[in-house]
Structure 1
């Protein structure tokens, strides 16, 4: 039977996770859905976008002359790494729209919601406030990206500090900068909403499990097994989603963190070399890099924490560990082990897993890298100039 949108069950059976972000993606030229009648044109646009972003990174690295730790060196690194992060987003958008990931995700989430004990939770099933918050947090990205692009076009410069000149590239570069803003503004909210939705479902599961624990319901093998079966389904889907994100999460956070290191270096050490407007743009780009990097990493980290919290709930149970029933112990042991050991995690550059502690370590490392850059910059600045 069809479910009315006004029905209390609607958020469970027909969850609307993405809201207006779904329509932004649907009307965008990155909508490469197989049902799109002009898909061929959008595939070409996605390919051209990808090539433009790669070309910009190539141009910055190999066609711009600059001295190491100079303003130009930091500028070119900043723009190149932003472009590289953006073409990762283009690939992700193409894959997402081609296979209809948004619709499949909402259907899978609805299947998980049907397994709940307590049903509808306003705090976990309504996404309007979260979507508004995400929209407001992402607004600085197009504002500062485009403001920087306009400044460089007006000044007819590729970057501010370089001896390299070109009669046409700065127009192209401004367009690609706007493209970077658009791609991130499209992809990041969807990425955050998907991860938040999964984390919320795990929160509901853990709350229901904790309630059953306090009411001694887990001493009933059938009820306990129901929770175990539900956990298996949730882990199956979440681990599969995490696996699909591995190539993207391996590169994109590293690229934007590298951009963050360079723009922070400009902000802290080279502000006196640029005018006020461009300095404000650099502050804005630094904020944008923080927004992008945190949006990429924190939502998956919240999912990992929620998955792990199941083991805490079970190990805090006051009654299960006294049970003499071997089935209860087996279920208990399997759920705890699954929570601790069976979580597929994303690895940034295949080195560190995406969790809250490692994210904080990453920002700490970036801070220290900037400090080292500052030290070497001051040393080089004091060296005598050889004619």
Structure 2
């Protein structure tokens, strides 16, 4: 008979219900990961994706050349702003000296951000990262739309951006109103103090978008590794890891995750290798101003500088925290496996070897971003740095107070 009997259909249905069919996973795209920031980057003049596209499409070469010229012009403008901030420097340990250092070193950080956006877009960093990310996503046991939803991060990024813009531009506008480059500096010519707020606005866009790109790529790494750990924990609780084929699938997926982090860090390190030092230098000077000049500044000016102190601390935190989270979740895999005592008694050599490989890979990997190629970014070093560096500003204020009490003119 062509039509099967009802009993046969019921048997096939019950049998198929026990088989877990792989779900079709929607590929992660730039629109999902970057959201509206994918288009906002064009405002900076540093979106050089046309340069990459022109390599495959000769018709885009003229546009690519124009794009490169505009990007170089933006880089020159940001260098000019940083030079003007350094030029406003005053006597050592004075307010002008500290304020100049605070904003000038953040100016260097904006130069780093400028080159990062230029390089990331020119070399198609995000599209290549998403290709590798989608490969890892295809190895998931179950699909999870929450992990792939970055809209909440986009909303928080807009809120943070507003805070950052308000802090930096309030200082730029207050300085321009006093016909200066910085509030405590000397009066400068009109074209300079008039144009500086507009250049600062451009710098705000550049720093904000660079940090958001950096944060979102790190967030994609953290989420994927965290979800891997969640599925590994579930498999451990359900005693499925003692099946050598399942454990080896997790081992292969972990290797792909480590490779994903390695490739991402090759590009992300262009920002995180140097930017933290400039952020910390700015933070030290900002704390020095808040600790040493609170009584000698008008309330409005002190409020603006204090607002910028919080902004500098925030940008320092968001520079270190994303990379630190990635390292935390990578090492957390070892905790999950070591919490299980059953692997030690396993008679299956493949299971025990896979168990050892995963723990060693989790604990001994070399995927940390290193500041100045030496200091690794991970939770312990981040917490230590966020404690010690701001306190150096308070120590500097104490030194100044002692020198003033000794009659030394500053």
Q: Structure 2 regions of 5+ residues with no counterpart?
A: 1-22, 55-59
Are residues 1:46 and 2:67 paired? no
Equivalent residue, structure 2, for 1:77:
101
Equivalent residue, structure 1, for 2:38:
22
Q: How far off its partner does 1:46 sit? A: 2.5
Taking structure 1 as reference, are residues 53 and 106 closer, same or farther at Cα in structure 2, changes over 3 Å only?
same
Q: How does 1:251-266 map to 2 (within 5 A)?
A: 251-266=274-289
Instruction: Give aligned pairs, total.
Output: 377
Q: How far off its partner does 1:193 sit? A: 1.0
CA distance in 1, matches of 2:316, 2:404: 31
Q: Structure 1 regions of 5+ residues with no counterpart?
A: 1-7
Q: How far off its partner does 1:172 sit? A: 4.3
SS across alignment from 1:212 = helix
Q: How far off its partner does 1:200 sit? A: 0.6
CA distance in 2, matches of 1:356, 1:166: 47
Per-residue CA distance 1:196-221 (angstroms, 9 max, x = gap): 11111011111111111122211111
The 8 Å contact of residues 199 and 303 in structure 1, kept in 2 or not, is answered as: yes
Q: How far off its partner does 1:338 sit? A: 0.6
Are residues 1:371 and 2:394 paired? yes
CA distance in 1, matches of 2:89, 2:239: 70
SS across alignment from 1:124 = coil
Taking structure 1 as reference, are residues 164 and 379 closer, same or farther at Cα in structure 2, changes over 3 Å only?
farther
Q: How far off its partner does 1:253 sit? A: 1.1
Q: How does 1:118-197 map to 2 (within 5 A)?
A: 118-119=142-143, 121-163=144-186, 165-197=188-220
Taking structure 1 as reference, are residues 22 and 340 closer, same or farther at Cα in structure 2, changes over 3 Å only?
same
* TM-score, with length taken from structure 2: 0.86
Equivalent residue, structure 2, for 1:103:
127
CA distance in 1, matches of 2:294, 2:24: 55
Equivalent residue, structure 2, for 1:3:
none
The 8 Å contact of residues 235 and 343 in structure 1, kept in 2 or not, is answered as: no
- 1:327 is aligned, of 341, 350, 358, to 350
Highest Rg: 1 or 2? Answer: 2
CA distance in 1, matches of 2:186, 2:214: 40
Equivalent residue, structure 2, for 1:314:
337
CA distance in 2, matches of 1:28, 1:53: 11
Taking structure 1 as reference, are residues 127 and 204 closer, same or farther at Cα in structure 2, changes over 3 Å only?
same
